[in-house]
């Protein structure tokens, strides 16, 4: 950890991948399309983003992989580990705190003086 100085807004791809894997086991190519579809193309992470995230996550023990042949296709399915669950919780809370703080400023209207 002690990630040096991570920008306060980062780690969203990681968050999305972990969340999707919480629902079911998925493979990389599938995750790429799921993100596009579930966000209505608002967020579109390419394979160049998703695959490295998966590898980092696996290296850190947050997910595990298993190669399977499905209909002649070779896919690598990823599953969330307990470590991944707590990491997901962590990131979700962080995301919540940050968006809340930003919202605070957006709504605050310049009259900071609230109780």
For residue 62, the 8-state DSSP code is: S
Q: Identify which of residues 47 and 90 has a Cβ nearer to DNA in the complex.
A: 47
Other C-beta atoms lying within 10 Å of the C-beta of residue 94: 13
Encoded one letter per residue, x for contact with a second copy by CB under 8 A and - for no contact, window 50-89 reads ----------------------------------------
What is the distance between the alpha carbons of residues 21 and 85, in angstroms, rounded to a whole number? Answer: 10
What is the distance between the alpha carbons of residues 16 and 81, in angstroms, rounded to a whole number? Answer: 15
Q: Identify which of residues 10 and 22 has a Cβ nearer to DNA in the complex.
A: 10
User: What residues from 47 to 66 belong to the interface with DNA (CB under 7 A)?
Assistant: 47-49, 51-55
Residue 111 binds a second copy (CB under 8 A): yes
SS3 content of the chain, % helix, strand, coil (to 5): 55, 15, 30
Q: How many chain residues touch DNA (CB under 7 A)? A: 33
What is the distance between the alpha carbons of residues 14 and 115, in angstroms, rounded to a whole number? Answer: 36
Provide the minimum distance between the beta carbon of 99 and DNA in the complex, in angstroms, as a whole number.
14
Q: Which of 29, 34, 51, 64 binds a second copy (CB under 8 A)?
A: 34
User: What are 40's two structure tokens?
Assistant: 């209505």
Residues in touch with DNA (CB under 7 A)? 3-14, 27-30, 45-49, 51-55, 70-76
């Amino acid at each position: 950890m002690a990630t040096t100085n991570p920008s306060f807004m980062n780690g969203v791809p990681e968050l999305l991948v972990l969340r999707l894997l919480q629902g079911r086991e998925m493979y990389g190519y599938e995750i790429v399309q799921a993100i596009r579809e579930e966000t209505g193309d608002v967020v579109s992470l390419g394979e160049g983003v998703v695959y490295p995230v998966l590898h980092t996550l696996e290296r850190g023990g947050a997910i595990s992989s298993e190669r399977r042949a499905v209909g002649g296709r070779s896919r690598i399915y990823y599953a969330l580990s307990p470590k991944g669950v707590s990491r997901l919780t962590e990131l979700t809370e962080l995301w919540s705190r940050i968006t809340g703080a930003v919202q605070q400023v957006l709504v605050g209207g310049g009259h900071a003086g609230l109780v």
